[in-house]
Amino acid sequence: MSKQRFSTSTLRKMATFGYLGLLVYMPLWLLLLSPSEALSPTLAFVMFVVPLLLPIKGILQGNPYTFAWANFIVLIYFLHSLTTLWVAPEETWFALIELALASLMFFAGAYYSKYRGQELGLKIRKLKEDLKDERDAFEKNENSDK
């Protein structure tokens, strides 16, 4: 097991900062600082703000499972920032800020989930264990049928 560099509390604060930063920054960028000519404000809001609202309760409560699955949502912003860097050089700074916030949320959230889950004694069963349990149940069922 690797040595933990940041405390679980620090990781939670970093991930929450990245998350809340995205939640504030995305509408600020897409609706006020540099509104898109291709997207209506309503569509921009639905596409880039609503997904961030889904995990808000669990993030604020510090639920490690929420931080883990919220990373799938954060990948949208990670990919959006990389795409913007590639296709819109005039918005480089906006995209770099989004990339920094998404990366902070992603990495701090992943490590927070891991370490907090270990502290709470949570673990995901290994596939090998699941397969063994299924095989044992199948064999037990087969033996009882005879």
pLDDT tens digits, one per residue of 99-145: 999 999 999 999 999 999 888 887 666 667 777 777 888 777 777 76
pLDDT for 38 equals 77
CA distance 16 to 20: 6
Residue 1 burial (CB count, 10 A): 4
Question: Quick one: pLDDT at residue 125?
Answer: 63
Q: Is the pLDDT of residue 146 over 70?
A: no
pLDDT level of residue 53 (50, 70, 90 thresholds): very high
- According to the model, what pLDDT value does residue 1 have? 52
pLDDT bin (cut points 50, 70, 90) of residue 69 is very high
- Region at 3 (left for phi over 0; alpha for psi -120 to 50; beta for the rest): beta
Top pLDDT among 146 and 16 is at 16
Q: What is the pLDDT of residue 17?
A: 98
| Phi, psi (rounded to 5 degrees) for 98 | -60, -40
What average pLDDT is seen over the chain? 89
Of 43, 41, 51, 42, nearest to 19 (Cα)?
51
Spatial separation of the C-alpha atoms in residues 74 and 6, rounded to whole Å:
21
